Amino acid sequence: MMEALCRFHKQTQPAPPRIETLVIAAPDVDRRKFDIDMTQVVKDAKIPLTLYASSKDWALTLSYLANKNHRLCHAEPELVIADGMETIDASSIDTDFLGHGYYGDARELLGDLFQLIKEKRLADKRFGLSPGDNNGKKFWTLLP
């Protein structure tokens, strides 16, 4: 999806795609590639983007070790916070053995997705999220 949006953006800039919301949950994507390719696309297209990340995602930890690059949805060493994107830290959610299935298995996260997609609520209007701040950059913690 991110590759397609980047290509679309380069071909049709500044017209945004007709996307109501975009959710990124646990993809194995290089953080630098996201910073270079996607942050400007999201900002220009004004696509509401929600990123779910977890420090307990061992699959992404292994990917980091194999690729020698930090992964977008791994909350370590810090969360990725960008303009035009709501970052949700799901590290406190109970997960499977690898911690990678939280986005599809955890009741708390599924409830948050429902509020986001069906009810079109921004993070500050959704139940089960606690606001946080990292050097003036706002993020949210998904509560268990």
What does the pLDDT read at residue 97? 56
Rounded to whole angstroms, how far apart are CA atoms 38 and 84?
11
| Cα-based angle 19, 79, 82 (whole degrees, multiple of 5) | 45
What does the pLDDT read at residue 37? 79
Rounded to whole angstroms, how far apart are CA atoms 87 and 24?
10
Per-residue pLDDT tens digits for 1-19: 777 777 777 776 555 557 7
Rounded to whole angstroms, how far apart are CA atoms 94 and 116?
21
- Asked, for residue 16, whether it belongs to a domain, the answer is no
- Asked, for residue 48, whether it belongs to a domain, the answer is yes
Residue-range definition of the domain harbouring residue 60:
2-6+30-142
- Asked, for residue 36, whether it belongs to a domain, the answer is yes
- Asked, for residue 13, whether it belongs to a domain, the answer is no
Total number of domains constituting the chain = 1
pTM given for the model:
0.84
- Asked, for residue 131, whether it belongs to a domain, the answer is yes
What does the pLDDT read at residue 124? 95
Per-residue pLDDT tens digits for 86-130: 999 998 887 665 555 556 677 888 999 999 999 999 999 999 999
What's the gap between Cα 123 and its chain centre? 12
- Asked, for residue 25, whether it belongs to a domain, the answer is no
What does the pLDDT read at residue 48? 82
Whether 54 and 105 have beta carbons less than 8 Å apart is answered as no
Whether 143 and 108 have beta carbons less than 8 Å apart is answered as yes
DSSP string, 68-92: TS-BTTB-SS-----TTEEEEE-TT
- Asked, for residue 97, whether it belongs to a domain, the answer is yes
- Asked, for residue 123, whether it belongs to a domain, the answer is yes
Of 115, 106, 143, which is closest to residue 128 (Cα–Cα)?
Answer: 143
Average pLDDT, the chain: 83
Work out the number of other CB atoms within 10 angstroms of the CB of residue 116. 20
Local confidence band at 80 (pLDDT 50, 70, 90 cut-offs): confident
